[in-house]
Amino acid sequence: MWRNLDKISNIINLDHDLLENENEMKRIRPFDTRQLEAFYMLCQTGSFTKTAKHLFLTQSAVSHSMKNLEEEAGCKLFRRQGKRVTLTEAGDRLLDFVRPFLDQMENVRDELDGFEKFGIGRIRLGASAQACRFFLPPILREFKETQPLCRFEVKCDDSPACFDLLSEGKIDLAITLAPINLPEIEFVPCFNDELRFVVPINHPWAKDKKVNWDHARSENFILYNRTSYTFRMLTDYFDRLGLRLSSFMEISSPEASKELIKVGMGIGILANWAVEEDIKRGELVSLSLGAKKLSRTWGISVRKGRRLNKAERMFMKIAEESGCHWMVNRKL
């Protein structure tokens, strides 16, 4: 009899172990992506009927899918109030995870779709309006000669905004100034430029071909907006010289800055390449800031640790080696 009891006990223990393993398998089994897509759409519409229409499914199919999702989750995700559906606390928590997951899946689909259609994918690039006008064209021209099928998406914004977009994964690369205290950003320098005073042709400094520092404190200046890296560099530079700019106008557009300078609204501080044509036409004059020059470093920024695809690596190589060499021979 005792032997029979031992056998029964062993069978019970075996069944218990099998049940535990089955429950464990249920706990670690990943969610179905299609269920998560239906869940997300249901959260947006609050209606099984509207969700079914959006997904080209029957209402019963959506209902069955959500029932399975709740079973997989092991808890209630929805409250049904007539025809409306609201989320439980657990449903809200799941939505927090589902939203970025589906966004990432969409990015992966786009990337793979790009490989199929364009050979080596796409590049989402961030750059300032200046970079788009002056730096980007020669780089793109050379890049397109070797990779004509690659697709480009360009977002125009200043360096701080581009760093944010890189960190958020909304762009892949950016043409920026060298980052300051941003360990999450990797930077490949391409070239340096020099910031200089820019005055209209009839300004006393233009006639004397030199800066009158005694009058500088009373002059009105036209500067980049204070959120920019250039504004920070300028204020640090003048602080070291003991010169505080008492009157200045902030503006984010270099083109608008040049027009304001021409009509005598103030003195600008710009790189020579930004006013090259205006200087050639005899409308503006560029003067050195002083014995100690103020240089900026431009290059390609990317989120640290991000794995670059073939197109991105090639773009960075062209930019680093030859894309910005047009600056080297520009002598005004």
The CATH number assigned to the domain holding 47 equals 1.10.10.10
Task: Write 46-50 long-range contacts (CB < 8 A, 24+).
Answer: 46/84, 46/85, 46/86, 47/83, 47/84, 47/85, 48/85, 49/83
136-146 helix and 310-318 helix, angle to the nearest 10 degrees? 130
Q: Measured between alpha carbons, how far apart are the two ends of the chain, in Å? A: 107
Domain enclosing residue 259, as ranges: 192-296
Q: Is 289 exposed, middle or buried (0-12, 13-18, 19+ CB in 10 A)?
A: middle
C-alpha to C-alpha distance for 103 and 94, rounded to whole angstroms: 15
Instruction: Choose the final residue of a domain: 88, 115, 142.
Output: 115
State the pTM of this model.
0.61
Same domain, 179 and 224: no
pLDDT, block means (10 residues), the chain with 332 residues: 46 46 50 87 90 87 90 88 86 89 76 55 86 86 84 89 92 92 91 92 91 84 88 88 79 88 93 90 91 88 85 86 55 42
User: Is 199 inside any structural domain?
Assistant: yes
Instruction: Choose the final residue of a domain: 94, 115, 136.
Output: 115
Same domain, 59 and 199: no
What was the pLDDT predicted at 178? 92
Same domain, 186 and 198: no
What was the pLDDT predicted at 199? 95
User: Is 232 inside any structural domain?
Assistant: yes
Same domain, 111 and 43: yes
User: Is 129 inside any structural domain?
Assistant: yes
What was the pLDDT predicted at 161? 92
What was the pLDDT predicted at 8? 40
Same domain, 204 and 291: yes
What was the pLDDT predicted at 253? 83
Neighbours of 209 (CB within 10 A): 8
What was the pLDDT predicted at 118? 47
User: Is 200 inside any structural domain?
Assistant: yes
